[in-house]
Structure formats: C-alpha cells, structure tokens
Amino acid sequence: MQQVKLFFSKGSNIMLSILLLIVFVCLVITLKPRDSGVQSINLDRDRLQYRGAVEKGRFSGDGKLMLKNGDYYTGQFKNGRFEGAGQFISHEGWQYKGQFKAGAPYGKGELKKNHVTYKGDLVNGKYQESKN
C-alpha cells in the first residue's frame, strides 16, 4: 500500500509540473510582443504615440501618429513612413491632405493655411507651380 501512495504522489507531482509548464507556455505566448497586427505604441518617452497596423515591427497600413506637441498624421504608412493617402494636421494651424511618398507630400494635395487653400502637385514636399 505504501508503494501505491508513493506512486500516486509522484504522479501528482508530474501532473502538477506538466500543468504548470502548460500555464507558463500559454502566458509566454499571450504576453509575447507582437510584430504584426493592429497595435498601440508609445515611443521616445511618450513623445510619439502610434495606433494602427504594424508589419514586421514597422508602421504599415492604416494608422494614426500623434506627437506630444499636438501635431498628428492620419493615413497610410509603409515601412514606417507616410505613404499613400493621408492628412497631416499641425498644432500651428496648417494642414495638408493628399498623397505622400517616402514620408513627404508627393502628388495631388491640398494645403490649408490661414484660411487659404492651395491645391496642386507636390514633389518631395515642394509645391510645383503649374506651367501654362
């Protein structure tokens, strides 16, 4: 009878160890930082806040980037940069809405400043005057 009690007590320890191992693995999987999907990220001591799609650890897809000074960008990202359709609103009162390429306004866009709206093409963030 003593051997039976010893066997079951050892079996209980093995079962408990297996159960604890399973719980540990589940916690590691659940708490592991993700490098893809929709995320909220604070950077540079909370000077930058990002909420949106992340792919391979970089902002990619739709998202919103907010700066501590009140500036923010809402739109598309690719490889961590503004890319595609988006809108940048400055805390100084101006805003740009249009296309971005490699982090800069590029293509058709609209700049609003001091109740005046400028529409046109931009290349590398610079307004291109129309040639008539």
What secondary structure does DSSP assign to 15-40, as a single string? Answer: HHHHHHHHHHHHHHHHHSPPSSEEEE
Ordered by start, the domain boundaries in the chain are 1-32, 37-128
State pLDDT tens for residues 9-52: 444 555 444 544 554 544 444 444 566 788 898 888 888 999 99
User: May I ask the CATH architecture of the domain 37-128?
Assistant: Single Sheet (2.20)
pLDDT at residue 38, rounded to an integer = 86
Task: Record the tokens describing residue 66, joined without a space.
Answer: 């907010």
In this prediction, residues 82-105 reach a mean pLDDT of 94
pTM of the model: 0.69
> Which DSSP state fits 130?
P
Q: What is the pLDDT of residue 9?
A: 44
Reported as a single tens digit per residue, the pLDDT across 101-125 is 999 899 999 999 999 998 999 888 7
Looking at residue 22, its pLDDT comes to: 59
